[in-house]
Amino acid sequence: NDTIGVLALQGDFREHLQALRAIGADAMAVRTAAELGRCQALVLPGGESTTIDKLARAFGVRDLIRERIAAGMPVYGSCAGMILLADRIEGGTSDQETFGGLDIVVRRNAFGRQVDSFEEDIDIAGIEGPPVRAVFIRAPAVLEVGQGVDVIGRTAAGAAGDRIVAVRSGNLLATSFHPEVTGDRRIHELFVKIARKEL
């Protein structure tokens, strides 16, 4: 079974399902523990991390997601999904919890508010060809990475500053930006390879 689930509680899960299907992956929306049980990998979409956290508890999938991550399930988190994968948040609401598993510290809304959303071309280690067009929407940034976490992308030292915006640690991949909205499928291709243990 190489089905990739997309957590479909809130956020832009439809775009991730579309991106995965466009590259031939078997993808399904996940809202329940039974649905997660049919998947060998999971995508955590962009959206609102506090809402996704609350809904995951309400739908009874939160503990299972945590356990599966700890047991090695491949997971890709984009934007809010990156926050949910992070072991620590700086600047979260006081009761905000994450699924965790990825040894990073993230800062929510690190680039400012909605009006400060921006795009930038970013070179991602391990991705061939032209840089990836990265769309940042109230995006988090990675402040610290633990041992075993590879920094695979950062913004240029410019207006947005030199920030870590893409990381990989074993089966876990996270980006501050939203590749699902651009039509460039290379980040999803990278994750499918990780999920299939080809990388």
Q: What residues line the site for ligand GLN (CB under 6 A)?
A: 46-49, 79-80, 83, 108-109, 137-138
Chain centroid, CA 158 distance in Å:
24
180 carries an active-site annotation: yes
88 vs 196, beta carbon nearer ligand GLN: 88
Query: Is there a binding annotation on residue 108?
Result: yes
The smaller minimum CB distance to ligand GLN, of residues 109 and 182, is found at 109
Phi, psi angles (nearest 5°) of residue 21: -65, -35
> CA 94 to CA 115: how far, in whole Å?
25
| Closer residue to ligand GLN in complex, CB, 148/183 | 183
Active site residue 120: no
Least separation, in Å, of the C-beta of 27 and ligand GLN? 19
Burial of 129 (0-12, 13-18, 19+ CB in 10 A): exposed
Which entry of 178, 188, 189, 198 is annotated as an active-site residue?
178
Active-site residue identified among 15, 39, 79, 188: 79
137 carries a ligand binding annotation: yes
CA angle 62, 163, 66 (to 5 degrees): 10
> Catalytic residue among 180, 188, 189, 198, which?
180
48 marked as part of a ligand binding site: yes
39 catalytic, yes or no?
Answer: no
Strands 4-7 and 41-44: parallel
Q: Would you give the end-to-end CA distance of the chain in angstroms?
A: 18
Catalytic residue positions, numbered = 79, 178, 180
